[in-house]
Structure formats: C-alpha cells, structure tokens
Chain A
Amino acid sequence: MKYVDEFRNPEQAKKILKEIEILCTQIELAEDRPIQIMEVCGGHTHSIFRYGLNQLLPKKLDFVHGPGCPVCVLPRSVIDNCILIAQHDDVIFTTFGDAMRVPGSDKSLLDLKAEGADIRMVYSPLDALTIAKKNPKKRVVFFGLGFETTMPSTALSVMQAKKEGINNFYLFCNHITIIPTIKAVLDSPGMRIDGFLGPGHVSLIIGTQPYRFIADDYHKPLVAAGFEPLDILQSVWMILKQLKNGEAKIENQYARLVDDAGNTSALNPIAEVFELRDFFEWRGLGSINHSGVKINEKYGAFDAEVAFNLKEVTITDPDVCQCGEVLKGILKPWQCKVFGKECTPETPLGALMVSTEGACSAQYSYGQNIDLINKK
C-alpha cells in the first residue's frame, strides 16, 4: 500500500536499529538505569506494541507510555455525566468507538446502550450533526474528547451547527490539551524521563513551538514523531543523538505533515469555539490546571453542560491504582500492585487498562508470555 509500506520497510529498520544500539552504548546516565523515552501519545504506544518495536530495541532503552491516550485519562465522573445525558428519552448520544467501553462509577456507555439507550458510534462529529438534522425532534449530543488532534473537527461542527441554525445539537466537551500535561509529568517528583517522542498528530495542529519550554527549562529533548514504525525508530535515533551530544532540542521528524508553526486553519476554529477550563481532572494524574477546554459563551447554546445542567463531580480512582506512577515512568505496568489481578482488560480498575492504547492494556494483551516465546 502506497505511502504506508515505505514506512514499514524491515531492511531500513535493521539499519536504524543497529545505529540505535551503538548510540545506546555511548550514552552515560548519572544513575544506573535504562534510558527512558516517553512516548506521549497513545497512538505511538499502539504502534510500538503492534510492530513489536519494544522487542527489537536494546535492553538499555525503555519506553515509558505517556498520558496521551485520551480515552484512558477520562475520569469516571465524565462517564457518569455521559450516562446522565444519554438516559434522557429524547437524546441520541454519539461518540467515538473506543469511548464506549470506558467504565464509569457504575457502568459504561456500552452497558447503557444494552439497556436500551440510543447511543451511536460515529467516526466524526460531523456525522453527529447529520444525525441531528435527520432527527429534529431528538436532542443529539456529541461527546467530544481527545487532544488538539480532534478539537478542530469538533469546533467546526459546532460552528456549522450555529451557521445552519441547528438547535438540537449539543457538545459535551471533554477535550484536553497536551502542553500542561507534559509539564505536569515533568514537574512530578521522581520523574525519570530522558526524552520525549512528541505526539505527531497533536503537533500537526499546534506545531512544535509550544514544546520549547521542554528543551529550554527542563533540558530534555523532544522529537515530534510520525506513527509508522520507521518514523518511531528514526525519532528514537534523533533523541539518542541529542542525549549522546548532551543536547536538548525540539526537533521535527514528522516534517512531511507537521509545520513547525502549526496549522492555522485548524487553530482558528479552536480559538473561535473553545476557552481554557481552570482545571481538568485526569484519571491517574489528578487535577491539572488549564489542561482542558470548554465551549465559550458565544457558542454557549450548544453546550451540553448547560443544557443538561451537569454538575462537576470529582470521583477519585480507587486507592490501589498506581496509574500515576506508571504514567510518570516510575513503575512499569506489571509492577503495579493490581496489574493482571484485580485490574484486567475485562475489569479495568485504572485508566491505563481501559483502552487498547493504554500502557497496561497493551502490556497485558501483547506482553505476557513474550519472554517465554523469545527464549525458545
């Protein structure tokens, strides 16, 4: 398949892997531990496991699976609010496929759908708008989530609804922003990250400038990376080169899509429709200031939080969960007390077990038994 297979060429991979191995031996860390690279984005986590990249890289190099899976970091209270909305008889509730399975305090959207609520999976918020037009007597709510990647299409749908005077369309906005989140990880005590794979599709929207502080203030390298296996390997190689040379720069591996200045046609609708929340409560990480957005006053008529009179409730993760430590790179998934015991993909307790992009779920599905197989 064109434009895909070129980035999955095993021969090229072998060459880069060899160079990565050499670089790893040349890097001296102050402490006796592996080099830790955080892939911020869940899409990268998915690719790393899908192609088995973690098996191919030297033992001296560890991936730390970051907070960038928007499904995983959804707090229970948000799902509870979704359920409150979707329970209304006159509501058609729409959202992305992988948000359906996230457990709330009592149930998931899939559970509620099984009880008879009209909950539909869509691939774009514009599909939700179409459903609203086709069902003028229903209130159609789109549950919007994700980082800057999915924000523009949500914003455009709200703008389109206003333009066309569609008054039965609402957005339950739970979009989150990446920069304060990376900052929270960097500020957390015990943080052990040596460099970052920057989220490719978020960077496509915001550019690479907003990452400057990571290099300037925290002296860590970040490389905005694509999602194909060769993209990831090349980006790892770029980070290692910086580490070897004692540098901390923001680089752009995904230049075929990412403009360092960002994409104004995507940023404008975001600025038009959204404003920063004072704080957003993350599953696993807790409350982070200015890390989420909500609909601004101009578009207030489309705000499901207002229309359905939702209250902000905070429901903390169960005490036994150690998602926070895993997210910060302090623990590996299998070092968590409940990993694979109380917490499994069938019965996820913590954020990271919820989506296939979550570090723990990926580890559980793909990682177990792998040592046995490799020994043979």
Chain B
Amino acid sequence: MHKKYKNKNITMAHGSGGKASSDLIKDIFVNTFDNDYLSTMEDQARFNIPAGQIALTTDSYVVNPIFFKGGDIGKLAVTGTVNDLAMSGAKPLYLTCGLILEEGLPIETLDKIIQSMQKTAEEAGVKIVCGDTKVVEKGSADQIFINTAGVGVIDKGVEIHSYQAKIGDKIIVNGFIGDHGATIMQSRAELGISADIESDCQVLNHLVGKMLSVSNNIHSMRDATRGGVVTVLNEIAQDSKVCICIAENSVPVRVPTRGVCEILGLDPLYLANEGTLVCVIQSEDAEAVLAIMRQTKAGKDACIIGEVVEGPEGVVSLNTLFGGTKIIDKLVGDQLPRIC
C-alpha cells in the first residue's frame, strides 16, 4: 500500500468521483487486482466468452465481524460468488467488485480486504475486472459492504439442477459442516465463548471440476451457506418433489463446533458454511466421485450423509443416533441461542 494512506481513513471525498476517488481506485484496486481488463479504466470490462452456456450470479456480503478466523469479508466475497457459479458446474471466469464503504474506515483495512479478494481470486483462477466504490456517512453502513457478480461458462452436457434428485440418489457433503457459523457466533464478543474453530471459507470450483471429470450424473448441487445443510436439502427435496433422508451419525461435525452448538443450544445442520457443498448424485457414481473428492484439500473429508428415498414429497427427515426419526424443516428465522 502507498505510504500516503498510512493511518488515513476513508472520507466522503473518496466516493465523490474526484481526484481522491480516482487515486484510491488506481492505488488500491487497479494495482492489486492487476489485470488488463481493469487497467483500461473504461466504464465497463470487455471480454470474449468461450462457447457454452453462460452462468451469471450476484451476492452481497455484510458479515460482522469483517475479519474472522479462517477468512474475512473480502475472501468471502470471492468464494461465495465463485461457489455459486461452480454449483451449476460452470467454470467461473470474471468477477465484479462493488463496494459500499462507511466513512471513517481505515484505508489500511480496506487494502487488507482487497488483497484478500485478489489472493482468493487467484486461487479460484478468476479475474476481478470491474468495480464501483461508494462512500456513505458514518453510521449509514457497517464499515464495508461488498457486492460481487460473477460470470462463468457451463460445458456442453453438464446439467445440474435442483429439480433432478431421484429416488436412490446419494447425498454427499465435502467435509465438516457448521464451522463458519460457529466461528462467527463465537467471535461475536458479547457471547464470550472461545473455541478452536475456523471458518471453512474456501473456493470449490476446482473440487467441482474434479467431480465432473468422473461423473455425468451429478443431479443437484448447492453450497450450504445461510440456513446450512438442512435448508439446501429442503430446497432440493421441494424442487425435485422427493423425500430425502439423512443419518445423524454420518454427518461430519468437528468436536469444537459441536461444543459451541451444545453450549448455545444450536444445531450444526442449520449453521452457515462458506466452503461446503451438498451434492445429490446417482448412486452408482457415488464412490468414484467420493474417491476423487478425497484427493483434494476441499474434499478430503467428503462423505455420504444420506439418500433420496420413497416418502412424502418435499420432506427431509433425519434418523437420529437413537434410531428415532424426525422431520428437519427450514427455520422460520435465525437460530437464536437458548436460555437454559
């Protein structure tokens, strides 16, 4: 970062469109994101797209705190959008970066977040090719909000849709669930809990690429962000008009995450993830896909947690450790810690 920004904060001038704005754009964004599409400084990025169906997505990131164990809002803004593209089987190519900054944000903090975005974009193999910066008065936003949109291309023949789950299909997750939600929950100082967990925040496009290299029979796939694994399973069960049954003893949850959940009275199945996918796959292909997933960092703890079964349409059930059965529905609102 240029030393003129040391100990300096974002002011309204940085969003005014004048010299302060253009300096900030050049010094922080163009410099860090460093690619030919962006450095032309046109009002739009121009690029050619390889043949195939285009996937387009957008997401806004407003996490509090903005830095947490295992990630930060910048990393999240890239992984979230990359993963949303990857869940369709698309190869992510280009991202946009829209920022809403609160007056008073230290420029060093902004720089750290932008660096983190670029590092994550490199990991994913995508370029951040255009952007926009607005500054709002103190109190009108919480430090920094980021919106990223992304485009990718889906190869011919790849058809992954939430309405395609069929009876007999297996349900795969790529690893331990609930770590992101538990990390955010425990890093909110007012709850005063500390546990050795970090967010699972990671890009999944390379993992999905490997999975597609061994199977043409991935029927449905979603990343289990807000609302957790249960919410994704309910969406798929409803869209596909099937019944999904998962087994509690096969759902991988880390001990510290379980600990946070036990103390706060939360259910890890409903906690947010930022690098966890739920894949519904034809049963014959499940083992081959699992094997190749386990060779990757993002999929080394992949496992089957359940299957699509005959039963009432649109319903997800859980076989408890005890052999009891219960329905696991979407939550009405946020999970809130219980009193006692």
Q: Is A31 in contact with chain B by the CB < 8 A criterion?
A: no
Among B326, B333, B339, point to the contact of A55 (Cβ < 8 A): B326
Q: Is B51 in contact with chain A by the CB < 8 A criterion?
A: no
User: Given the interface contacts A372-B312, A373-B311, A373-B317, does A146 sit within 8 Å of B322 by beta carbon?
Assistant: no
| Interface residues in A317-352 (C-beta closer than 8 Å to B) | 345-346
Contact between A150 and B339 (Cβ–Cβ < 8 Å)?
Answer: yes
Query: A357 contacts which chain B residues (CB < 8 A)?
Result: 338
Binds B, one of A46-54, A234-242, A243-251, A290-298: A46-54
B261 → chain A, closest Cβ, in Å?
10
Contact between B336 and A100 (Cβ–Cβ < 8 Å)?
Answer: yes
Q: Is B310 in contact with chain A by the CB < 8 A criterion?
A: yes
Query: A150 contacts which chain B residues (CB < 8 A)?
Result: 339-340
Q: Is A56 in contact with chain B by the CB < 8 A criterion?
A: yes
Contact between B190 and A52 (Cβ–Cβ < 8 Å)?
Answer: no
Q: Please, how many residues of chain A have a CB less than 8 angstroms from a CB on the other chain?
A: 53
User: Given the interface contacts A8-B321, A123-B190, does A369 sit within 8 Å of B327 by beta carbon?
Assistant: yes
Give A121 to B339 CA distance when docked, in angstroms.
11
Interface string of A1-13 (1 = CB under 8 A from B): 1001000101001
Instruction: Name the residue on A nearest B259 (C-beta).
Output: A1
| Interface residues in B310-330 (C-beta closer than 8 Å to A) | 310-312, 315, 317-318, 320-329
Q: Please, how many residues of chain B have a CB less than 8 angstroms from a CB on the other chain?
A: 37
Query: B338 contacts which chain A residues (CB < 8 A)?
Result: 46, 96-98, 356-357
Q: Is A284 in contact with chain B by the CB < 8 A criterion?
A: no
Q: Is B137 in contact with chain A by the CB < 8 A criterion?
A: no
Query: B322 contacts which chain A residues (CB < 8 A)?
Result: 8, 10, 13, 51-53, 56, 229
| Interface residues in A196-254 (C-beta closer than 8 Å to B) | 201, 229
Contact between A366 and B190 (Cβ–Cβ < 8 Å)?
Answer: no
Among A14, A43, A356, point to the contact of B340 (Cβ < 8 A): A43
Contact between B325 and A55 (Cβ–Cβ < 8 Å)?
Answer: yes
Query: B258 contacts which chain A residues (CB < 8 A)?
Result: 1, 4
Contact between A123 and B324 (Cβ–Cβ < 8 Å)?
Answer: no
Contact between A366 and B336 (Cβ–Cβ < 8 Å)?
Answer: no
Among B259, B326, B328, B340, point to the contact of A149 (Cβ < 8 A): B340
Q: Is B128 in contact with chain A by the CB < 8 A criterion?
A: no
Contact between A376 and B309 (Cβ–Cβ < 8 Å)?
Answer: yes
User: Given the interface contacts A365-B329, A366-B326, does A124 sit within 8 Å of B336 by beta carbon?
Assistant: no
Main secondary structure of the interface of B (DSSP, over half): loop
Give A100 to B335 CA distance when docked, in angstroms.
11
Instruction: Name the residue on B nearest A131 (C-beta).
Output: B190
Q: Is A161 in contact with chain B by the CB < 8 A criterion?
A: no
Q: Is B192 in contact with chain A by the CB < 8 A criterion?
A: yes
Query: A98 contacts which chain B residues (CB < 8 A)?
Result: 336-339
Give A101 to B337 CA distance when docked, in angstroms.
12
Contact between B325 and A121 (Cβ–Cβ < 8 Å)?
Answer: no
Among B262, B264, B325, B329, point to the contact of A52 (Cβ < 8 A): B325
Give A78 to B267 CA distance when docked, in angstroms.
29
| Interface residues in B219-245 (C-beta closer than 8 Å to A) | 243, 245
Instruction: Name the residue on A nearest B266 (C-beta).
Output: A97
| Interface residues in B241-260 (C-beta closer than 8 Å to A) | 243, 245, 255, 258-259
Contact between B337 and A121 (Cβ–Cβ < 8 Å)?
Answer: yes
Contact between A376 and B321 (Cβ–Cβ < 8 Å)?
Answer: no
Query: B190 contacts which chain A residues (CB < 8 A)?
Result: 120-123, 127, 131
Contact between B192 and A51 (Cβ–Cβ < 8 Å)?
Answer: no
Q: Is A370 in contact with chain B by the CB < 8 A criterion?
A: yes
| Interface residues in B14-49 (C-beta closer than 8 Å to A) | none
Contact between B339 and A53 (Cβ–Cβ < 8 Å)?
Answer: no
Q: Offer 13 A-B interface pairs, CB within 8 angstroms, sorted by A.
A: A50-B326, A51-B320, A52-B318, A52-B323, A70-B339, A120-B190, A127-B190, A345-B332, A366-B328, A370-B327, A373-B317, A376-B309, A376-B311
Which residues of A does B touch, CB under 8 Å?
A: 1, 4, 8, 10, 13-14, 43, 46, 49-56, 70-71, 96-101, 110, 120-124, 127, 131, 145-147, 149-150, 201, 229, 345-346, 356-357, 365-370, 372-374, 376
Which residues of B does A touch, CB under 8 Å?
A: 190-193, 243, 245, 255, 258-259, 262, 264-265, 267, 309-312, 315, 317-318, 320-329, 332-333, 336-340
| Closest 3 pairs between A and B when the two form their complex, measured CB to CB | A52-B324, A97-B336, A97-B337
Given contacts A4-B262, A8-B321, 19 further A-B contacts (CB under 8 A): A1-B255, A46-B338, A50-B320, A52-B325, A56-B324, A70-B339, A96-B338, A97-B339, A98-B338, A127-B191, A150-B339, A346-B332, A365-B327, A366-B328, A366-B329, A368-B327, A369-B312, A373-B311, A373-B312
